[in-house]
Structure 1
Amino acid sequence: MSRARNIKPGFFKNDVLAECDPLARILFAALWCEADRAGRLEDRPKKIKAECLPYDECDIEALLGQLSANGFILRYEVGGLRFIQILAFGKHQNPHKNEAPSSIPAPELHRTSTVQVASPDGSPPADSSLLIPDSLNLDSLSSDSLNPEERDTSAHTCATDAGEAALAMRRAGCISINQSLPDFIEALAEGVTLKEFEDAVIAHKAKVQNSGLFAYAVKAARTNHQRKAEVLELPGNRGHPARSAPSRQQQLEDRNQRAVDQWLANG
């Protein structure tokens, strides 16, 4: 069942959304009307095409793919059924208080095949003039704005991390994003930081291009994160920051000091 939703001026000025085809932009707004109060709907492309773009000849799968690749929606699977989660839906929409609660399960990292991007169900007025993904951060979605019956802070955190990571990599130069990549999901679960994702893209984008860059950068970021963790877990390092290796100059000074100490001791 379609619902009335809000649209703001920021929708038309979003430069990330502008990377999508015009029909994909219309589809994005139309998905809000098809989604429930939690920003979720069934991932049934033929039905979505009939409801959202009935008079246009288009590849609905390709359009949904553009929205997913640019971090506006998450396509996920639970119990063999496919669903769509609209990112930060609760930040930008104000469902009617009598609208029925969502009957669609939220994405959860341990049980789905895609990145978790569950948005909270916001009932207070949406107050941002910018459209996601520019406002994908924990501060912009306070716990007070969530409906008590559907508050899910763990899913919210996963949602924010996934959206911010995808956006960070895109801004670093990775155009093609595949949020359902298993390595990406595992990297988020392991706590790979935004900077580690960004650094990996910057370090490798010159030699790895197009769709291969995302997978390569994710693997590199994950490897670097694991190496740092191994250093911190070395005996004697627990609870203390990892010490950097001494510079060449420091090594020479240390060697000279040892020689002086030995000469004094023998004298």
Structure 2
Amino acid sequence: MARIRTVKPDLFINERVAACSVTAVVTYIGLFTQSDDHGRHRDNPAIIAGLLWPLRAEHTPVHVEEDLQQLADAGLICRYTGCDGKRYLHLTGWYEHQKIDKPSQSRLPVCVDHHGEKRCGTCKGTCAAVDASTRGDVAEPSPDTQRGLDRAAGELANPREENAPATHARQIALVPSTGPTRTVEEKAAGRSRFPEASPNPPRNLSEGSAPGSRILDPGSCSPTGRTAPGTVTAGDLLAGYVGSCAQRPPGDVLGHLGRVVKKLLAEGIDVEHVRAGLARYAEIQGHPSRLPSLVNDAMNARVPARAGSRPSTTHQAWTNPVDAAAYAEEL
């Protein structure tokens, strides 16, 4: 969650800040608002880009990584690996320039190089990495641990076949990872370093790639982007129309026309009717919305009467005459 922070006027005349680019300075000031009460934050350019540059799509995580590297080179931030193995950063001048009223406890690991005396969010106190460095590499094991080491060493010297798996498990559980007994652990690990090969053959996860482009065709209904041989797509019809024009039409016209052609093909209209409509449209031009009516003309064109055929006559119903005397002879 963003927080209200202090930006001092001296920031803009600081030589280390002036050595960075403008975008790096904006990222630096933005980190003031996103870091916790101890100036710590995740060292992830994608996360920082989403927090600080959400409306600047052109400033990608790659650019944010460049900003962070400039800030680190200038000594304005410190990028470090926490005791949990993840990457973090902290603002180096945080405690000198930010005065936080009732700061909350940090949930992030501490930088042992700069703030080793501060509370570590992961260790809930002094960082375990600092404790290990102050204790030293050689530590005398407790009596219980020493008895376990002696028993493990005896089993290594006289292994029994029936208890071999259990012995190896006890060796790994009892031998600590620090101190002069590390050689015993390495011996125990070396005995089971090469496990028995599995009878099942390894699976091949790679699939052969089929030739051809995977880019979806504009008029294709196939999810793979490939069309069956001989299938005419909206892109093919549109390419024929563009070829019949003296100059290439604007992109908006082609985009609208392509959508109309694709819709006509989706309705099941014959390709030849659509092609005839496009040919007529190339002659008269106009708005792309005229294409469906031109295709309709091609579909329902009147068939001329054949020679010698009887012309069609319109039947008229008989009505009673008003003046019956005028039709007396016919009646």
- Coarse TM-score class (shorter-chain normalised): 0.3 to 0.5
Q: TM-score, normalised by structure 2?
A: 0.33
Q: TM-score, normalised by structure 1?
A: 0.41
Q: Return the index of the structure with the highest Cα Rg.
A: 2
Higher RCO structure, 1 or 2 (CA under 8 Å, sep 6+): 1
